[in-house]
Structure 1
Amino acid sequence: MDAHFLGIPEIPELAETPSVAVVVDVMRAYTVAAWVFAQGAEKIVLAESLDDALALKTAHPDWMALKDGPPAPGFDMVNSPGMLRSADLRGRTVVQKTTAGTVGALAVKEASLVLCAGFVVAEATARLLRARQSDRVTFVVTGEDGRADEDLACAQYIARRATEPVTDPTEFLHRAAKSRAATELAEGVRQGVHPDDVELCLELDRFPFAMTAEPEGSLMVLRPYAVPPRPDNAPV
């Protein structure tokens, strides 16, 4: 598999639309998205802006809206996995708008396959890449214009798992734990944070599903995708 790693600002410079794109946001958009599905949500609509998120909720009063930072009028939740663990989202649609994660997915929405990932769905994401026999994969490192070490570490880990039968996650998780984002979350620099957020973002393979984003009408919609487990004796 030919893996390429780039930041959101580099996407418009690509000569052609990626065939397969894996959008990585560990802290915290796609850790949160996985928890949203684990709590029973049917789908996540990725919003272009905060105003769009509120407009979608107004048009669909039964939908719920989620954003980065502190609580705000009109939004039901904030972008914190720790705060979502007790939420009952069974059958709900959640509109998500974050600083980097949702932006990254929308930037590659023309790709044939868009996967959104963090460590919590790393193995399922790698299995799906193997199942699709993806020769060339573009990993979008969303944080810090492509320099966020937690996102790059996760992207590199998934790329390695997609091609190797055994991969030690220790180095990759250590890099993420020492990243700027982890430090800011732990020290309370960012708002809308639960004390368990960093730990939850570093839970490797917590969930058995991957997450695929596809256009549905005018919206980009994220859904969980069940990936069959790989038999122990199956080739990579």
Structure 2
Amino acid sequence: MDSRVVGIPDVDGTEQVAVVIDVMRAFTTAAWAFHRGAEKIVLAADADEALAIKACHPGWLALKDGAPVSGFDLVNSPGLMQEADLAGRTVIQKTTAGTVGALAVVEAELVLCAGFVVAGATARALADAGAESVTFVATGEDGRAAEDLACAAYLGRLLAGDSPDAGPYLHRARTSPAADDLRSGRRRGAHPADVELCVEVDRFDFGMKVGIDDGMAVLRPLRTRPDAVSGVHRAR
């Protein structure tokens, strides 16, 4: 399978199949939200849009990165999401990079959102779809985030049918500037477990697919066949 890696500024509208990567922390948090029972996640471009959507749907929960602020119910942190009761709930997610990247390619034929926690299932979803080429959108730092590039490289190996050792890719993510920022407290709204939760491989057995519902970009879990890619396996 052919692949390329771009940052958000390099998205040019030619993407037919896209995997939008935000390891730390948007799509790790999203995966945890689904694990905690969320039905769907509406992707918002900015805080104002998130709050406007919530105003129209008072039962929905709004999530953003950074410190807690009025109007938002949840923080973009997998560590904090671990204890959330989201059974049957809809979450509106706004983040600095991840949701922006997903919205940039929302017109593509297939859009998946990913981090290490859903890497295997993401590769299987691409195989299920018969994708011949894929664009990885590394959302952090305009495409330079080490953790997103490491995840893209790992996914590329899986798609090639390899069974790569996840260790070097996880080390690159664990020692990235983003990980240092989380550990040091320079990123507000962080939990002490966030970094390690972001570098769990195949923690979940579902992918995450973007669709359009009522004019909104909506992320939902996507179950896949376990044998769709021979090289994909649960890393320990």
TM bucket (normalised to shorter chain) is: over 0.9
Deviation of residue 195 (structure 1)?
0.2
Q: Name the SS for the 1:221 alignment partner.
A: strand
1:50 aligned residue (13, 24, 47): 47
1:2 corresponds in structure 2 to 2
Contact 1:120–1:207 under 8 Å retained in 2 = yes
1:25-36 alignment, distance < 5 Å: 25-36=22-33
TM-score (norm 2): 0.95
Residue 105 of structure 2 corresponds to residue 108 of structure 1: yes
Residue 133 of structure 1 and its aligned partner are, at CA, apart by 2.3
Task: Please list, as runs of the form range in 1=range in 2, the aligned pairs for 1:66-145 lying within 5 A after superposition.
Answer: 66-145=63-142
- Aligned residue number for residue 194 of structure 1: 191
8 Å CA contact 1:211–1:225 kept in 2: the answer is yes
Q: Tell me by how many angstroms 1:217 deviates.
A: 2.3
Give distance in 2, aligned partners of 1:173 and 1:60. 38
Report the alpha carbon displacement of residue 17 of structure 1 after superposing the two structures with TM: 2.4
User: 5 Å matches for 1:201-216?
Assistant: 201-216=198-213
Gaps of 5+ in 2: none
Superposition deviation, residue 96 in structure 1: 0.1
| Amino acid of the structure 1 residue aligned with 2:2 | D
- Residue 15 of structure 2 is matched in structure 1 by 18
**Alpha-carbon displacement from aligned partner over 1:83-120 (angstroms, at most 9, x marks no partner):** 01111000000000000000000000110000000000
- After superposition, the Cα gap between the structure-2 partners of 1:66 and 1:147, relative to the gap in structure 1 and judged at 3 Å, is same
Question: Structure 1 CA distance, aligned partners of 2:159 and 2:213?
Answer: 28
RMSD: 1.4
Partner of 1:159: 156
What TM-score comes out, normalization by structure 1 length? Answer: 0.95
Match of 2:182 among 185, 204, 219: 185
Aligned pairs, number:
232
Taking the aligned partners of 1:4 and 1:60, their CA distance within structure 2 comes to 38
What fraction of aligned residue pairs are identical, expressed as a percent?
A: 59
C-alpha distance in 2, partners of 1:41/1:169? Answer: 28
